[in-house]
Structure 1
Amino acid sequence: MFDVLVFLYENYWRPDACPDHDQLSKKLTAVGFESEEIEDALSWLDGLADVAESHTGAQSERAMRVYSPAEQDHLGVGSIAFISFLESAGVLPPAMREIVVDRAMATPGAPLPLEDLKIIVLMVFWSLGEEPDALILDELFVDAEDRLIH
């Protein structure tokens, strides 16, 4: 599923640039993705669109997020820490954070690998038509072990 999401992010500059689900499924199949993987990704994207539509920026910027035990188990310490890092850096406002958490909880497997969470964050920005800051893009794309320390 995550490979399909990355493909969409890299090939369509915004969600409304994507063809309808039938055409997109055919294109993704032609590129080599499995039908189950395509179906999972498109279903996940439908959920993203629904959640993004229902969340408004009405939450206080000073609100503190307490994760439920189920969220803690599913997200894992690394993912929760990364979400907190993005919040403290000022790039993930509370409404977007809630979309990220919702979509992360909609993925199978626990704990969620940090690399998968990073893709979810990218897809949330993408779905809202926002481009993350260049430093945040670097954080989302470059693995820690691949970084050069100057």
Structure 2
Amino acid sequence: MHNDKTIPWHEHLSWFESLKQDPTRQFFVFYQNDRPIGVLNFSGLGTEEPEWGCYLGEADIWPGSGLLLEVAALDYVADYTKAEALYAEVLSFNQAVIKLHRLFEYQSLESRDGGVREGKAFEVHRFRYPLTDWRQRRQSILKKLPAQIREASQLIDFEQELL
């Protein structure tokens, strides 16, 4: 997310191999209708405040797929870790995700300089979600979402497969 430079294939492979050896990171492929459409990832697992990110890589997906990834991220860390909060960073030009975090009632932290991309300066917006808040607010947050997203959120499963 923070780097927009082309990465050579051998560096991709090396990075992927390193993930297999890193117990502080976890990646899930996000499927819709048995089709992989994105990735949900976590770093800093085992700490009090792991970080998450997600990427949707397909265009023909359900409206609200980002909402489902947001629910999945919070549910995973709340249900499968001993973390106290979930941390996220969003580049300032990604207004859709900033709006999403606000809808879910993340705490906004102080932004930091992000650099320059395509000749334009940007910031890194930082967010935190205490998991006690998520456990208390989950149902009220879900009530704000479209009915089909609420229903689909009940189908989120963290089946783990070996790489």
Per the TM superposition, whether the score is higher than 0.5 is no
Q: Which one scores higher on RCO, CA 8 angstroms, separation ≥ 6?
A: 1
For Structure 1 versus Structure 2, the TM-score category normalised by the shorter chain is under 0.3
Q: TM (normalized to structure 1)?
A: 0.27
Give 1 or 2: higher strand fraction: 2
Q: TM (normalized to structure 2)?
A: 0.25
